Structure 1
């Protein structure tokens, strides 16, 4: 924690700097900008706002988790809707990098899990799939029924990690220096929180970053 928290000011500063600079240009030169330039500015604002929201949400949930204030409340939930809502939320982020973001999980695909936790997991994994993807790449959510479980996988065509960095992914005491393909930095907290939430739901998760395609998988009790 002593190493993690000092890195937060820089993480917050980058998206705030974009928000301030872009809105300043819009205020001063709005009438002179073309429709294409205005649209680009709006997309940059949306991307920075999403980055800040995700960071603040992860920080809030992680702090509550560390102090035992998050309760595990499993129920019958629709995985198709949980994924679709996050795909819609992150659509503009994906479009800004020309990343094709899709899900093959249909509505009325029910599992037994904590809804809020799983929505957070899906949002974090999809955000990473966009951040570390190449321009014009793909990110998809797929599922497979296996031995009474629904295995959900998030696969993207992004950059991988070397073995040294792979070992640092889930450690809060080690600063993660991975940088997205658009030079945006992250804290690594989203993956730490996602792994913790999946394990709180009593299921397994698997992460692989060493190949050309990055792969995340987790499973839940499948309900007919």
Structure 2
């Protein structure tokens, strides 16, 4: 309970929106306020035993004009006003003591008190307010010396020189020490903020990786296991030998389609796993884009023929790009596979490429079912990876597009799309056309 009370008193006025430096300033003011209050109680008791009530009265006045107002200001979260108030009031108290206390006449006493107050100003304030506090502090000192106490009467040049030099040296060392400490604190604060940002980013990255992991496990457990099970049962039927030649051909074609789907899925999974390895590096080479497009079309030849579709490769012969060729092949296979899947039978798919100043833009245009603007945005941002059936009931796993985005980014490009429901979609992606 005692620790809790002490903690509550020390943290009066502290709230989460404060900067670490202001939080430390408030803690310092609270600790000093409590310590001064304890000292005032001790002095009051000593004064009571000595039978002199003057000090007790002065201490009560100090409590009323310093301790209590500062506590209330900090508690009300007016800490900046509290800093200015405590700095100004302490100086006015010094002036009052100089007026009514004849013992405060030694120049050394004044220097110690004023320099101590200057240190408080440099700790509590920054920048312009700090400069104002120092000027105010020095002005109070010279007002007491020259006007109130008139200590300078009979001074020689040497006296002024000594006082100015002492003051300058004291202020110099205090300013350097305070500035150095503040600089270290701010560097530490900046480092802490940077580390927190890095940790936050790592947390976000880990959450995304965890989501990808869950997605991968779902794909592996469902979309990979189901086709393999289907292949096993189909091959078992073939082995039984109860099928006609026509039925056997049809089943063999189905097996061919299924193995291609599984092969593409495995390629996606393995390449995505490689991307997550910290030591993995892409093999950047010059790529003849038209040839890679032809390979992607050949890979999908059976699916294209089954739908009686035309895929037109309009990429100019000498079109080149720079990147990992395996990645580019997988990107084109995924995008072309989606285009075939969601296109209507007997329709066309057009693949084009346009060279810009520093990149080549490749487009795959289909005349299929298309997708709404909202859903397209969700798909492109990765917010939705749901599987949609193709025009012939083809099943997908939802991995092709978002994993293609990973490969495109890895190779220094970007991917986007335009689409109209019922009319089709065009997917674009870029590859650098010069070595980076």
Partner of 2:321: 111
Q: 1:204 to 1:222 in 2, by over 3 A?
A: same
Aligned length: 221
Q: 1:18 aligns with which of 220, 230, 246?
A: 230
Q: 1:129 to 1:175 in 2, by over 3 A?
A: closer
Q: Structure 2 stretches of 5 or more lacking a match?
A: 1-210
Q: Which of structures 1 and 2 has the larger relative contact order (alpha carbons within 8 angstroms, sep 6+)? A: 1
Give distance in 1, aligned partners of 2:347 and 2:279. Answer: 38
Higher strand share: 1
Partner of 2:367: 157
Give distance in 2, aligned partners of 1:133 and 1:84. Answer: 19
Confirm or deny that 1:213 pairs with 2:424: yes
TM-score, scaled to structure 1: 0.85
CA contact (8 A) 2:371 2:425 kept: no
The CA deviation at 1:41 is 2.0
Q: 1:135 to 1:196 in 2, by over 3 A?
A: same
Partner of 1:58: 268
Q: Structure 1 stretches of 5 or more lacking a match?
A: none
Q: 1:22 to 1:112 in 2, by over 3 A?
A: same
SS at match of 2:387: coil
Partner of 1:188: 398
Give distance in 2, aligned partners of 1:214 and 1:187. Answer: 19
Give distance in 2, aligned partners of 1:184 and 1:69. Answer: 37
The CA deviation at 1:124 is 0.9
Where does 1:24-35 land on structure 2 (aligned, <5 Å)? 24-29=236-241, 32-34=243-245
CA contact (8 A) 2:379 2:385 kept: no
SS at match of 1:26: helix
TM-score, scaled to structure 2: 0.46
Where does 1:114-193 land on structure 2 (aligned, <5 Å)? 114-170=324-380, 174-193=384-403
Give distance in 2, aligned partners of 1:173 and 1:5. Answer: 16
CA contact (8 A) 1:170 1:188 kept: no
Give distance in 2, aligned partners of 1:122 and 1:33. Answer: 37
Give distance in 2, aligned partners of 1:205 and 1:172. Answer: 12
Q: 1:41 to 1:101 in 2, by over 3 A?
A: farther
RMSD: 2.5
The CA deviation at 1:118 is 0.9
CA contact (8 A) 1:139 1:154 kept: yes
Instruction: Work out which of the two has the higher radius of gyration on C-alpha atoms and give 1 or 2.
Output: 2
CA contact (8 A) 1:4 1:173 kept: no
CA contact (8 A) 1:203 1:219 kept: yes
Superimposed CA distance per residue, residues 18-66 of structure 1 (whole angstroms, 9 cap, x where no aligned partner) = 3233323322236x513x4333222211110011011111111112212
Superimposed CA distance per residue, residues 123-181 of structure 1 (whole angstroms, 9 cap, x where no aligned partner) = 11111111222222222211223335322111112222234432432566755132222
SS at match of 2:427: strand
Give distance in 2, aligned partners of 1:110 and 1:60. Answer: 26
Partner of 2:258: 48
Q: 1:78 aligns with which of 288, 295, 301?
A: 288
SS at match of 2:332: helix
CA contact (8 A) 1:87 1:102 kept: no
Q: 1:69 to 1:95 in 2, by over 3 A?
A: farther
SS at match of 1:219: strand
